[in-house]
Amino acid sequence: MDKVIKAVPNADGPLNPLKEFTAARIGIGRTGTSIPTKQSLAFKLAHAHARDAVYSRLNIDLLSADIKQFNLPVIVLHSKAGNRGEYLQRPDLGRKLKKSSANRLKEHVGGYDVSIIIADGLSASAINENVIGLLHTLIPLFMAAKLKLAPICFVEQGRVAVSDKIAHLLNAKLSIILIGERPGLSSADSIGAYLTYDPKPGLTDESRNCISNIRPQGLAFRPAAEKIFYLVQEAFRMKLSGVGLKDNQVLIGH
């Protein structure tokens, strides 16, 4: 008679207490020398969600309708990447703005303090699910501080650096791009926020500050918005961003 191999849940394993603090796959147990079927299937499902997120598309109509409550114009733009395949294979094209989109921005030039750009990045799903919740907290903070906001710009097939060109064309002092982050196997819905003071084409990553993992199961909307607002205030005070701008704020009560 064949020996029956039972799954061992590892309920009392040394890593089990850490599950309270992370969605990472730790202490998942074993079946013989392998992992339990349930965990194997969960892994495959997470991988499928990650692949779906990479190929997801922005729901611009729905997002634009939600943004109308802030009485800000909405501009839909496109990078030089013509489709998703080209976007994934040519990151440089995602950093550049299509000529017709650049021309559209010339109609909205103004002396703005902040330009908010929303891009699909590597997970439009993250933007579709979470960006409105973040904006509901973030935009009122800017308005209360009397900061002049540029039109909200959506960018399809966009990378982080495309925000430099957009904000420069709009004549904004600071850019914030909210972009879908590369999906992991425990988080396919994370938003990254990158802010740049005095944005212009040609800047590189050391000129930006980043707040990542913005989502309900990660950095929640309110502390994320407050962190972004704090860094924006510091950027205006010091007239810089990036490696020279340090986060000296202590989050209390979140």
Tell me the domains of the chain and their CATH numbers: 60-244 (3.40.50.11240)
| Distance between start and end Cα atoms, the chain | 57
How does pLDDT run across 187-241, given as a tens digit for each residue? 778 999 999 999 999 999 999 999 999 999 899 999 999 999 999 999 999 999 9
**What is the arithmetic mean of pLDDT over 58-81?**
94
β-partners of residue 196 are 175, 208
Q: Which residues contact 138 (CB under 8 A, 6 or more apart)?
A: 225, 228, 229
- 24 pLDDT above the threshold of 80: no
Q: Is the pLDDT of residue 61 over 90?
A: yes
pLDDT tens across 96-131, in order? Answer: 999 999 999 999 999 999 999 999 999 999 999 999
Please spell the DSSP secondary structure of 190-201, one letter per residue.
-EEEEEEES--T
Cα–Cα distance measured from residue 51 to residue 45, given in angstroms and rounded to the nearest whole number: 10
Q: How does residue 20 score in pLDDT terms, banded at 50, 70 and 90?
A: confident
| Element spanning 65, H or E | helix 60-67
Tell me the CA distances in angstroms from 74 to 39, 117, 126, one per residue in order. Answer: 43, 10, 19
Quote the pTM value.
Answer: 0.84
| 2-31: burial string, b at 16+ Cβ within 10 Å, e else | eeeeeeeeeeebeeeeeeeeeeeeebbeee
Q: Residue 174 above 60 pLDDT? A: yes
